[in-house]
Amino acid sequence: MRLAGIKSVKAGDKLALPVCTSSGKVVLNSGIVLNDNYIDKLRNLRIYKVYIDDGRFDDIEVIQPIDLKTRNLAIQVLSMTQEAIQKGKTVDEYLIKDAAKNIVDYVRDYKDKGVSILSTSAVDEYIIEHSINVAILSAFLGNKMSYNFNQLCDLVAGALIHDLGRDNSKEENAEHTQKGFDVMRKSRGLSLHSSIVCYEHHENFDGTGYPRKLKGKAISEFSRVVRVADYYDYILQGYDNKDISLMPHQAYENMLAVAGKIVDPEIVEVFRDTIVFYPNGCSVVLSNGLTGIVIRQNIGSPQRPVVRVYNDTAVLGEIDLLKSLTLFIKDVLVM
Ligand SMILES: [Fe+2]
Ligand SMILES: [Fe+2]
């Protein structure tokens, strides 16, 4: 299969993976042959990328950032928690801890594959989708930073709840940090290291954030980790740019530009070693002009995956960019 931008999808293309909403409802199932109506439907749902069947790339493994069972459980828990907060009811922090533990278990098994978060679903539950992405990214970061199991669970719990003080709109007001923290700190089963993330995740590394304008290491480490994950997901999903999502390498470049200002530069460096810039299945153009599909990753060198190159008539071979150092990826064709 290959990842195709909605602009390049044609009637007759067959979906290789189902298209879902962020809360897990299937919009179009795998195996469906697309027609113009379906393509319009995808566009209306603001789905910009889909996986298409392609015999030349059947062996490509698409790395999902998390399995469906873990995701669905986290969705359920976050919905319940969000509702409880809005209605002023008590929050069941043990459910949050369970959801966090499941994410940590999954990520620890898949840490060598790198994390690849892409916008390929229709976002119906914005905060929940965002919170799960931030939790997954934080788990990969914490893992790379050699956190032990309990630290990882506390970090991921903090990431899951970081924005639950918000309502479901995309605007973030300053009060959500205080609101989330006020609820979470009363949950005795939750570590203060987790709940403080609600309060501090908008503090900027250079002291220009809110609510307290904390600077550098005065911001708790968990909050600095979540800030990186949070900022990255925000840029990646295009929340700052009319929902026009970016590819991971572009979102990373944007984040690099604010390292030391908004985000902790040391954690940004760890992040580079954790993520996948060019996900398996994505079409790229190499500096020698050849077109290809990314088929494997070299984790730690996100800009240098293995690419299967082809022309109109045949597959020409595979190029490992970690070995062919004079070549680089010039362009990505998933727009
Ligand atoms: Fe926030
Ligand atoms: Fe956030």
- Sketch the domain layout of the chain as residue ranges: 2-53, 68-272, 283-332
Which ligand has an atom closest to residue 201 CA? Answer: 1
Same fold across 2-53 and 68-272: no
Distance CA 258, CA 248 (A): 16
Distance CA 129, CA 120 (A): 12
**Local structure of 159: helix, strand or coil:** helix
2-53 is classed in which CATH architecture?
Answer: Alpha-Beta Complex (3.90)
**Local structure of 156: helix, strand or coil:** helix
The CA 232 to ligand 2 mean position distance, Å, reads 10
**What pLDDT was estimated at residue 255?**
94
Distance CA 306, CA 271 (A): 20
* Among candidate residues 141, 166, 154, 14, the one with its CA nearest the CA of residue 78: 166
Instruction: Name the token pair of 176.
Output: 């959500």
The CA 162 to ligand 2 mean position distance, Å, reads 6
Q: Show Cβ contacts of residue 270 under 8 Å, excluding neighbours closer than 6 positions.
A: 141, 144, 145
Which ligand has an atom closest to residue 126 CA? Answer: 2
**Local structure of 12: helix, strand or coil:** coil
Q: Beta strand 19-20 with 26-28: parallel, antiparallel or unpaired?
A: antiparallel
Half-sphere exposure (CA, 13 Å, Cβ side) for 3?
Answer: 26
DSSP symbol at 56: G
The CA 134 to ligand 2 mean position distance, Å, reads 7
The CA 224 to ligand 1 mean position distance, Å, reads 13
The CA 166 to ligand 1 mean position distance, Å, reads 7
Residue-by-residue pLDDT tens, the chain, 335 positions: 888 888 888 999 999 888 887 667 788 999 999 999 999 998 888 787 888 998 888 888 887 778 878 888 898 899 899 889 888 888 999 999 999 999 999 988 876 677 777 666 666 677 888 999 999 999 999 999 999 999 999 999 999 999 999 877 767 788 999 999 999 999 989 999 999 999 999 999 999 999 999 999 999 999 999 999 999 999 988 877 777 778 888 899 999 999 999 999 999 999 988 888 888 888 899 999 999 999 999 888 888 999 999 998 999 999 999 999 999 999 887 64
Q: Does domain 68-272 have CATH number 3.40.50.10140?
A: no
Which ligand has an atom closest to residue 230 CA? Answer: 2
Distance CA 33, CA 31 (A): 6
The CA 266 to ligand 1 mean position distance, Å, reads 21
Residue 167: how many other CB atoms lie within 10 Å: 12
Distance CA 285, CA 199 (A): 43
The CA 214 to ligand 2 mean position distance, Å, reads 18
State pTM to two decimals: 0.87
Which ligand has an atom closest to residue 166 CA? Answer: 1
The CA 131 to ligand 1 mean position distance, Å, reads 10
* Among candidate residues 49, 24, 30, the one with its CA nearest the CA of residue 39: 49
The CA 28 to ligand 1 mean position distance, Å, reads 31
The CA 176 to ligand 2 mean position distance, Å, reads 10
Which ligand has an atom closest to residue 211 CA? Answer: 1
CB 334 within 8 A of CB 282: yes
